[in-house]
Copies of this chain bind each other. A is one copy, B any other.
Amino acid sequence: MAWMTTTRWLTPDEMHAWRAFAQVNGPLLAALESDLTDHGLSLGDYEVLVLLSETTDHQMRMCDMSQHLGLSPSGLTRRLDGLVKAGYVERLPSTADRRVMLATITRIGLDTMARAVPDHVASVRLHLIDRLTPQQIEVLGTIFDNVGIGLGRTPAIP
């Protein structure tokens, strides 16, 4: 017979926190994504451009990107297809390892991102940050650091 353990149900506070999170999470991301469409970017496209713009030489291996973005290799391939067609990113075969494709952000991609960033930051402020007290902001960071550790992620350094 299988082990029989009685379920530890959620307390009212726990249930409230979980339901609030579960119900608001989707609309929050939808709002952030919607505010980016003026620049012709999806939230996923934006994440790619930010990631590439933050590297020293503005390029990164596909497999490293898929790790950072939490995307499957095939998903990243097709996402880059769109960005390449839009002219924001180029594919460069690596000379050091001929299996590797280096995705590089173009001048047009950098310009597009530079125009999108202020609106995106304003959107994050509008929908999330400016609705919270400084104490709540600090706790929010701690919460998701802890949850991320449980999921096997190392929290960001700052």
Contacts and interface: CB of A to CB of B under 8 A. Distances in A.
A25 interface: yes
A41 B102 CA distance: 38
A148 B23 CA distance: 8
B8 A121 contact: yes
User: This chain: how many copies in the complex?
Assistant: 2
Interface string A117-153: 1100110111111011011111111111111111101
Contacts of A70: 23, 26-27, 30
A13 B12 CA distance: 29
26 contacts: A7-B117, A7-B121, A8-B121, A9-B121, A10-B121, A13-B134, A13-B137, A14-B129, A14-B137, A16-B141, A16-B156, A17-B144, A18-B129, A19-B156, A20-B143, A20-B145, A21-B144, A23-B70, A23-B144, A23-B148, A24-B148, A25-B29, A126-B150, A127-B147, A132-B147, A136-B142
